[in-house]
């Protein structure tokens, strides 16, 4: 009994120490499993020595750490092998510590030095990421910073991930991103212990990977006419307009990216989205289509090609699908998958399957003959036929087949892994059937959605705020947790034209997903997390990574009371004060402070809103026309 009481006391003391520490200075994301702070700190000496084994994997960790310290501090950094006395020691456990697994680590900082222990090099790398977050924010600088006390607090951390699949999906098909830009995205994600980059490599707007023997995929399918504005609303470009916007990755580019990712313990999941979302492939090789006249199609530049008024699946205005009744399609897929499998070492290949319109298939005599021959009752079963044949091709290359949750419709391929995006329902259904699942629901994990009020964000059809993202829980109560491999956030780039915007959309919501996938479920706490997010913002600034400050912006809700519009304001984080004006001037803290729902004065043209913390403005100034607020009112019931 005495032993149990002593253990409980130690646990409570550890928790108390962690709570006090995190509230003051330690803003680590994702939150470690266990952290105990002791008195004192360790300062980096004039010459920093790193001791570690010389194995290839560990060498990539030491090189990463050396470069990080040397660049920002200007100090000399020496690699000392397994020397006894070093500033920072990276040590692989001689016998495995089962509690921390392959990606866990133990970080100990005393006044005498820093020690990171792990079972594998990946664990050492994640320990390094935590160490970097303990150093002053200037460690993220790309040039040496003078006058900084390069010290870290004395702590003991034991840490390991909750899930093995911790991913970000980067859509490089809608807009092309260079090899250097993808590397930059990888560098940002590994700071927060992500280990998977899902590359969406082909869609209606572009085919982005070289396939030898199919040159038109990149000669024709990788380019469109450049348009900027609101994607999906553009007029179709004239037939004779030059198509020079886009690009693709050569196979050497892909090898370079895979190597770069591997050195940072990131797997790359390739996705070729079929049978829908395949216009770039059809334009390149029209014989892959069921539809006569496909040779007149062009790679999409952002013009409308789907009618979404009937829900999902959409009604296609042009046929952007591969023909499931054409044997040439399976020959094409075999050639593509063979080369994809050779280029990407990761065991999974993602083949889409989402939002496939069926209206052109319904008109196809070839599809009707296929249905009769195979006993297929509907179009969902036609797509299932396609998915099952593609799965066999994938498995023949020694890989596992993965698709979006639409592949459940019409019958799931025998060994398919389901990525659930239309909420959690598809993932639950697949797990109950015994299939592996990765959760990436729109509800919590779609980074292309607006992060704040439409008046200040680039307009998209939905909003997903940081606090909602943080509510993501990948394991539903009703399924076997072992089948949920993990989760990821998805960044679709229809409205994302450059890397700065990609960063803005990813961070800080990417921090919420990172913590959900790494940290213990029981440790999640929004108030604590939001404080730590604020601690990351100066680090983003030092690293010159763009991020959204939307968590500071007011939340605006409008309702109708009799014939009067009422405006209710709130904040995502607290304590913040909201000040407003209706007189077209710019409010500060000397203006009216919001305390209760507002009634719009007669003839007012707009409301301007800003938040303050104490006497400092903290949000962006928001200006919303009253006409826009009126348009947001719920429609009266008939």
Convert the pLDDT of each residue in 189-245 to its tens digit. 999 999 999 999 999 999 999 999 999 999 999 999 999 999 999 999 999 999 999
Rg of the chain in Å (alpha carbons): 27
pLDDT at 134: 98
The DSSP symbol for 97 reads -
pLDDT category at 46 given cuts 50, 70, 90 is very high
Cβ atoms 224, 245 nearer than 8 A: yes
- Candidates 106, 267, 296, 289; CA nearest to 194 is 267
- The Cα-based distances of 434 to 218, 353, 399 in angstroms read 38, 20, 19
Distance CA 157, CA 107 (A): 5
Distance CA 312, CA 329 (A): 24
Convert the pLDDT of each residue in 484-502 to its tens digit. 999 999 999 999 999 999 9
Residue 1 scores a pLDDT above 80: no
pLDDT at 8: 38
Domains of the chain with bracketed CATH: 2-159 (3.30.379.10), 207-231+246-256+275-297+304-415 (3.20.20.80), 553-632 (2.60.40)
The DSSP symbol for 143 reads S
Residue 546 scores a pLDDT above 60: yes
Residue 18 scores a pLDDT above 50: no
Residue 510 scores a pLDDT above 50: yes
Q: Sort strands 484-491 and 165-171 into parallel, antiparallel or unpaired.
A: parallel
**Pair of tokens at residue 341:** 């499998």
Lowest mean pLDDT: which of 19-33, 107-121, 556-570? 19-33
Convert the pLDDT of each residue in 451-487 to its tens digit. 999 999 999 999 999 999 999 999 999 899 999 999 9
Contacts of 421 (CB under 8 A, 6+ apart): 354, 404, 405, 440, 441, 442, 446, 490
Residue 17 scores a pLDDT above 80: no
Convert the pLDDT of each residue in 372-426 to its tens digit. 999 999 999 999 999 999 999 999 999 999 999 999 999 999 999 999 999 999 9
- The Cα-based distances of 636 to 127, 248, 602, 633 in angstroms read 56, 49, 22, 9
- Candidates 297, 270, 416; CA nearest to 360 is 297
pLDDT at 567: 97
The average confidence (pLDDT) of the chain is 94
Residue 22 scores a pLDDT above 50: no
Residue 569 scores a pLDDT above 60: yes
pLDDT category at 634 given cuts 50, 70, 90 is confident
Which sequence positions are flagged as catalytic?
203, 277, 355
Distance CA 138, CA 153 (A): 16
- Candidates 497, 530, 507; CA nearest to 191 is 507
106-129 average pLDDT score: 97
Residue 10 scores a pLDDT above 70: no
Distance CA 200, CA 271 (A): 5
- The Cα-based distances of 395 to 21, 148, 335, 341, 404 in angstroms read 50, 54, 14, 10, 18
Give just the sign of the alpha carbon dihedral 484, 485, 486, 491: negative
Provide the H-helix boundaries in 200-311.
Answer: 216-219, 251-262, 279-284
**Pair of tokens at residue 316:** 């296609």
Distance CA 436, CA 485 (A): 7
Residue 7 scores a pLDDT above 70: no
Distance CA 385, CA 624 (A): 50
More confident residue, 15 or 58: 58
């Amino acid at each position: 009994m005495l032993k149990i009481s002593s253990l409980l006391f130690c646990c409570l003391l550890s928790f108390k120490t962690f709570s006090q520490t995190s509230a003051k200075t330690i803003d680590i994301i994702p939150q470690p499993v266990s952290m105990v702070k002791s008195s004192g700190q360790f300062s980096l000496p004039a010459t920093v020595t790193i001791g570690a084994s010389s194995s290839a994997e560990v060498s990539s960790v030491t090189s990463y750490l050396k470069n990080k310290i040397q660049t920002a501090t200007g100090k000399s950094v020496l690699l000392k092998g397994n020397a006894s006395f070093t500033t920072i020691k990276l040590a692989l456990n001689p016998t495995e510590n089962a509690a921390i697994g392959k990606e866990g680590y133990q970080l100990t900082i005393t006044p005498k030095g820093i020690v990171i222990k792990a079972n594998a090099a990946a664990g050492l790398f994640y320990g390094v990421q935590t160490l970097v977050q303990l150093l002053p924010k200037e460690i993220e600088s790309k040039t040496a910073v003078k006058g900084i006390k390069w010290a870290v607090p004395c702590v003991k951390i034991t840490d390991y991930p909750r899930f093995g699949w911790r991913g970000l999906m980067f859509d490089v098909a809608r807009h092309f991103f260079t090899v250097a830009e993808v590397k930059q995205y990888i560098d940002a994600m590994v700071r927060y212990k992500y280990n998977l980059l899902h590359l969406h490599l082909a869609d209606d707007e572009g085919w982005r990977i070289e396939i030898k023997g199919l040159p038109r995929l990149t000669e024709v399918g990788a380019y469109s006419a450049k348009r900027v504005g609101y994607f999906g609303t553009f007029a179709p470009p004239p037939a004779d307009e030059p198509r020079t916007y886009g690009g693709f990755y050569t196979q050497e580019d892909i090898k370079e990216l895979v190597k770069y990712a591997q050195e940072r313990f990131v797997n790359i999941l390739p996705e070729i989205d079929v049978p829908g979302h395949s216009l770039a492939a059809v334009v390149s090789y029209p014989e892959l289509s069921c539809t006569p006249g496909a040779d007149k199609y062009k790679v999409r530049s952002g013009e409308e090609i789907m009618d979404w008024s009937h829900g999902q699946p959409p009604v296609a205005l042009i046929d952007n699908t591969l023909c499931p009744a054409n044997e040439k399609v399976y020959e094409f897929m075999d050639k593509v998958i063979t080369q994809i499998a050779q280029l990407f070492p990761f065991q999974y290949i993602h083949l889409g399957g989402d939002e496939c319109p069926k209206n052109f298939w319904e008109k196809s005599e070839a599809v009707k003959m296929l249905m009769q021959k195979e006993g297929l009752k509907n179009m969902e079963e036609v797509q299932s036929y396609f998915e099952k044949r593609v799965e066999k091709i994938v498995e023949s290359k020694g890989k596992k087949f993965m698709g979006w949750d639409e592949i459940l419709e019409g019958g799931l391929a025998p060994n398919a892994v389901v990525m659930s995006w239309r909420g959690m329902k598809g993932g639950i259904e697949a797990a109950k059937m015994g299939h592996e699942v990765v959760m990436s629901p729109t509800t919590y994990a779609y980074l292309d959605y607006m992060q704040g009020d439409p008046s200040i964000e680039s307009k998209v059809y939905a909003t997903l705020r940081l606090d909602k993202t943080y509510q993501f829980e990948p394991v539903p109560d009703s399924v076997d947790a072992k089948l949920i491999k993990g989760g990821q956030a998805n960044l679709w780039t229809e409205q994302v034209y450059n890397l700065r915007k990609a960063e803005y959309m990813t961070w800080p919501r990417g921090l919420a997903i990172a913590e959900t996938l790494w940290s213990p479920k029981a440790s999640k706490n929004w108030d604590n997390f939001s404080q730590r997010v604020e601690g990351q913002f100066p680090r983003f600034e030092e690293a010159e990574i763009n991020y959204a400050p939307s968590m500071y912006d007011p939340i605006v809700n409008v309702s109708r009371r009799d014939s009067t519009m009422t405006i209710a304001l709130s904040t995502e984080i607290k304590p913040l004060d909201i000040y407003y004006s209706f007189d077209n001037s710019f409010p500060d803290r000397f203006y009216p402070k919001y305390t209760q729902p507002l009634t719009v004065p007669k003839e007012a043209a707009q409301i301007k809103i800003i938040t303050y913390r104490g006497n400092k403005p903290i949000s962006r100034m928001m200006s919303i026309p009253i006409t826009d607020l009126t348009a947001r009112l719920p429609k009266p019931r008939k």
